[in-house]
Structure 1
């Protein structure tokens, strides 16, 4: 499975037979300009953790071009269905088998509203099980004890976690979160995009190393294999 970092909290997951896009905020991200072209993305599914603009900006355009099915909470899925797009609603604790694998929608502590201020349901994260691999996409979240429930059902190969602080948990809490989910390989996201969430990369890497963990900070457009 190949995971490409598209900037901020956006990722493109390519399995043997399917392509999943997570939280596409690309065209409005100055750091992704000239690197990522949304017209080159052709996902089968778009996973949306919550309704904030920095997670949904390109959902509609990409879904229209690709015919992708949008998977999110009930409110977000209904929002896009009302626009004539394909969507599949989920809610916290729900698990569903799809043709690419299995998803479980899990808790996140954050807020969720559309850019116009309308209600975007409750934020969440995803447990993705594909091709024998298990990935936790935390979404925008604070450190939460609910993370301790995750290793009760799956053994993670990778956890994608926000580390930018201010709006989400920062590096120190992400290290604790990695203990909670029992995964020592963390792919960082939600950092550096805006002034509020700029981090010291060397310091973050060193803190994870001292904790006996691996923090991955790929460049935009860079891929990793899981």
Structure 2
């Protein structure tokens, strides 16, 4: 894995950390929803999401990987909400109010997650982001190929469309 090759620790749910812990060179930090760990100077809190969760170790298909989750990452003057594969959910209201993230990384490709319009609605309704970064789109034809609807739905919010293997600066 990339994590093993580069010595990067993985933060994930407990069940997945147990499965990954048996892989050579992998350091997996397992924790649960509501839990917070320190990771490279940042505080990472696991929060709720709503989606399926499995992993394919290429040994007989998909295996359950524990509860679905998103993350709040706080450090260097920012709090980043990473939605995880999810749809809009009521928990976003308290997560936005309690954690007050200024940056949102929102899965918005449609089909498996909310689409761009729903992501824009969630961002407006439950959060006060300065910056939104869409993810899980443009990777294959089934998913949305453009963030235009997200941009149109978030006037006054900076939307950064990531490019493969290109760093993002704030």
TM range (shorter): 0.7 to 0.9
DSSP 3-state at the match of 2:87: coil
Return closer, same or farther for 1:193/1:90 CA change in 2, 3 Å cut-off: same
Gaps of 5+ in 2: none
Q: Deviations over 1:31-73 (max 9, x none)?
A: xxxxxxxxxxxxxxxxxxxxxxxxxxxxxx2222222222100
Question: Do 1:178 and 1:184's aligned partners in 2 also have CA atoms closer than 8 Å?
Answer: no
TM-score by length of 1: 0.67
Distance 1:86 1:215, change over 3 A: same
Residues 188 and 217 in structure 1, CA contact (< 8 A), matched pair in contact too? yes
* TM-score after normalising by structure 2: 0.86
- Name 2:142's counterpart in structure 1: 196
- Pick 1 or 2: higher relative contact order, CA cutoff 8 A, min separation 6: 1
- Distance in structure 1 (CA, Å) of the matches to 2:144 and 2:89: 23
Q: How many residues align?
A: 164
Written as runs of structure 1 = structure 2, the 5 A alignment for 1:16-31 is none
Q: Which residue of 2 aligns with 1:45?
A: none
> Which 5+ residue runs of structure 1 have no aligned equivalent?
1-60
Q: Distance in 2 between matches of 1:220 and 1:99?
A: 23
CA RMSD of aligned residues (A): 1.8
DSSP-derived class of the 1:224 partner: coil
| Matched residue, 1:223 | 167
Change (3 A) 1:177 1:77: same
Q: 1:170 offset after TM fit, Å?
A: 0.7
Distance 1:69 1:127 in 2: 17
